[in-house]
Amino acid sequence: MLRYVYSHCLRIPISSLVKASAAAASAASSSSSSSPSSTTTTVNESTGQKVYSFTSRLQSLADKSKNDILMNRDPYCPPMDVESRIQALTEKLLNLKLSTNNNNESAGRHQWKEYRFQDNAEKYKMFTACINEFKHNIANSYLHEINTVGELIDYFSTPVETPDFLYKITKDSQDGSIDLPANLSIQVEPLRYNPNEDTFFKVNAYPGRSTIVSDLAASKKHPSYRVSRMKRLRIEYEDM
């Protein structure tokens, strides 16, 4: 029976994770009950179940990310100029300009936010541009819900925190938000040996053996290494 979870070299009891998840759920429910204006729900007439809107799910994302240790997402602090930067991207990629008819800028800005993406190609261009602009990924569960420019602005205006302090200070140090002490170095991602690089002083932990990364996501971070036939000590299945 699994009793512990190892995260960043820390042994965390399962009971602690369950308690943390329950506490996060109760905190989210209490916050949603205290501020009913931020949560919008509708009732499905056929099933009688509540259907949560896009804005309420964004609020839930912001609340749960603070306390739920199982929800390990990259921390994100939205900048002050999210709307203006997304507006510049829409003008560049979609040729969508802010309408100022009858000198009514507020009405033109409202119409600009209500623009609905025509197809998946437009969504792909805008989503990838915003991800690169703000260094913040879009969760898969929100891809089908972001259909207008206004919803895209709401998503990138929602802060995301993480209860994992080690992961948070690592992210902040990479972004330049904080400066770590000179004698402190944090390595979250593992270093994979490659004789073509200078890591590990070129001392091979697996002499004469190939190290093949078959996972698609991991292969982007860690390149594979195949030993030449003359240096192989034995033939592995990766060499076939």
The 10s digit of each residue's pLDDT in 43-92 is: 445 544 444 455 666 666 666 555 554 455 677 888 999 999 999 999 99
Task: Give yes or no for a contact between 174 and 77, defined as CB atoms under 8 angstroms apart.
Answer: no
Domain residue ranges in the chain: 82-156, 199-239
What pLDDT is stored for residue 147 in this prediction? 92
Show the DSSP H helices in 95-148 as ranges: 105-113, 120-134
What value, to the nearest 5°, has the Cα angle with vertex 65 and ends 151 and 172?
95
The 10s digit of each residue's pLDDT in 199-211 is: 667 677 777 777 7
CATH architecture of 82-156: Orthogonal Bundle (1.10)
Mean pLDDT over the full length of the chain: 70
Phi first, then psi: give them for residue 88, nearest 5 degrees: -65, -35
Spatial separation of the C-alpha atoms in residues 170 and 180, rounded to whole Å? 9
pTM as predicted: 0.52
The 10s digit of each residue's pLDDT in 98-135 is: 655 555 555 556 678 889 999 999 999 999 999 999 98
